[in-house]
Amino acid sequence: MSKKKKTWLDTNTFHHSEFWNLLHLIEEKEKQGLKISLCIPTLNEEKTIGKEIIIFKSELMNRYPLLDEIAVIDSGSTDKTLEIAASFGADTYLSADILPKQGFKPGKGENLWKAIHQLNGDIIVYVDADIKNIHPRFVYGLVAPLIYHKKIQYVKAFYDRPLAFSQGIRPSGGGRVTEILIRPLFAMFYPELTGIIQPLSGEYAVRREVLQDIPFPIGYGVETSHILDVYHKWGMKAFGQTDLDQRVHRNQTTISLGKMSFGILQSFFNRMQKYGGIDKLPDMNQIYKHFQAQDQQYQLVEEEIKEEERPPMSTIPEYRKKFGLDK
C-alpha cells in the first residue's frame, strides 16, 4: 500500500508546543549566527503594552536570550504607550522620526515598513500590542520554523485550533473579515492559499531578505498584499504557520470591519492586476460610505480610505547604505 503524499498543510503547519525546548532553539539560532528582532506596532495601547514588554523581556531576553532587541514603533500615541514601554525596557521609536526624508504616513503598515530599517535582526517578528493573554509562544512559536527550516521564509500565526467536545468538533477559522472576504477571494483566485488558516493575523515572523523586497501598503491591506507578493515570488513552500492556541483581544465593530474590508479589496484588486489576473481595473472609488442612525433618521457618513503603498525597502537609499546593499 503506497504512502499518502504529504501536503503543504502536513509539512508547514506547526503547533507551538513542538518548540518548547528554548535552549535547543537558542543553540540553533546561535549556530546559524542569527539576530532576531521583535517589533510591536502601536497606537494608544497603554492598557496592554506594559504586560507584553514585561513578559517578552523577562522570558525571551533575560531568561532565554532568543530576542536581540524589542522595539515599539509608534504612530503617534496620545496616551502613555511610549512612556510605559520605555519604562519596562523596550526601545521606543516614533514612526515619523524613522527615515525622515521619506516622510510619514499614518497606518500600521507604515510602522511595519519602517521597522525593517530601524531594527537589525535577520528575522523580524511582528506582534500586535492589544493581546490580553500574551505569552512567550507568540514569539518563539513563529520564529522557530524559520530557524529549523531554511526553506520557510514567512510564518503566520493562527489561533483557536479545532477542539473536540461532546456535541462534535468546533471548526477553527479566522476572524470575520477572513471568513467572509479573504477566504472566498482566495478560494476563487488562489485556492492554494486557502491553506493559510488566518491570513490576516497580526503576528508573523519573516526573514529580512523577504521583507526588504516586498512593498508595504500602509493601511488595512498590508497582510493580504504580503501573502500574495510572497506567494508569487517564492511560492507556497515559503510559508509556514503555527497554532498558538488562543488569542484574546478587543473585538472590532462591524463598521470598523467594513472599513478594513474596503481597504483590503483595493489592495487585492491591485495585486490581481499586477499579476495578470485582471487586464485593466476601472478607477476604484476611495470613499467608503456607511450609515449611522440618530433618533429616527439615518445619516450618511463618508470617509476616504486610500491604500497607499511604500516601495520595497531595498529601493530606499538610506536602507541600502545602512545594510551595505551597494557593496
Count of structural domains, the chain? 1
Give the residue carrying C-alpha cell 516622510: 103
Model-level pTM?
0.91
Residue 174's pLDDT is what?
55
Distances in Å between the Cα of 211 and the Cα atoms of 95, 100, 150, 214 are 17, 20, 16, 6
At residue 320, φ and ψ (nearest 5 deg) are: -60, -40
Asked if the structure places residue 225 within a domain, the reply is yes
Query: What is the three-state SS of 88-137?
Result: CCCEEEEHHHCCHHHCCCCCHHHHHHHHHHHCCCCEEEECCCCCCCCCCH
Query: Please, what is the average pLDDT of the chain?
Result: 91
Closest by CA to 142, choosing from 224, 205, 212, is: 205
Residue 163's pLDDT is what?
40
Q: Are 63 and 83 in contact (CB under 8 A)?
A: no
Spatial CB neighbours of 317, under 8 Å, sequence gap ≥ 6: none
What number of other Cβ atoms are within 10 A of residue 151's Cβ? 13
Query: What is the three-state SS of 23-64?
Result: HHHHHHHHHCCCCEEEEEEECCCCCCHHHHHHHHHHHHHHHC
Residue 296's pLDDT is what?
80
Asked if the structure places residue 323 within a domain, the reply is no
Convert the pLDDT of each residue in 249-269 to its tens digit.
Answer: 667 788 888 999 999 999 999
Asked if the structure places residue 42 within a domain, the reply is yes
Residue span of the structural domain in which 87 resides: 13-252
Convert the pLDDT of each residue in 304-321 to its tens digit.
Answer: 888 899 999 999 999 999
Residue 173's pLDDT is what?
53
Sequential DSSP letters for 230-291: HHHHH-GGGEEEEE-S----PPPPHHHHHHHHHHHHHHHHHHHHHTTSSS-PPPPP-EEEEE
Asked if the structure places residue 160 within a domain, the reply is yes
Segments of the chain scoring below 50 in pLDDT: 161-167, 169-170
Asked if the structure places residue 309 within a domain, the reply is no
Asked if the structure places residue 17 within a domain, the reply is yes
We report the CATH number of the domain holding residue 242 as: 3.90.550.10
Residue 165's pLDDT is what?
43
Asked if the structure places residue 299 within a domain, the reply is no
Residue-level length of the chain: 327
Chain-centroid distance of CA 254 in Å reads 21
Give the residue carrying C-alpha cell 470613499: 287
Residue 156's pLDDT is what?
98
Asked if the structure places residue 176 within a domain, the reply is yes
Residue 96 C-alpha cell reads as 515619523
Question: Distance between CA atoms of 160 and 180, rounded to whole angstroms?
Answer: 18
Question: Distance between CA atoms of 133 and 249, rounded to whole angstroms?
Answer: 8
Task: For residue 147, give the amino acid letter.
Answer: I
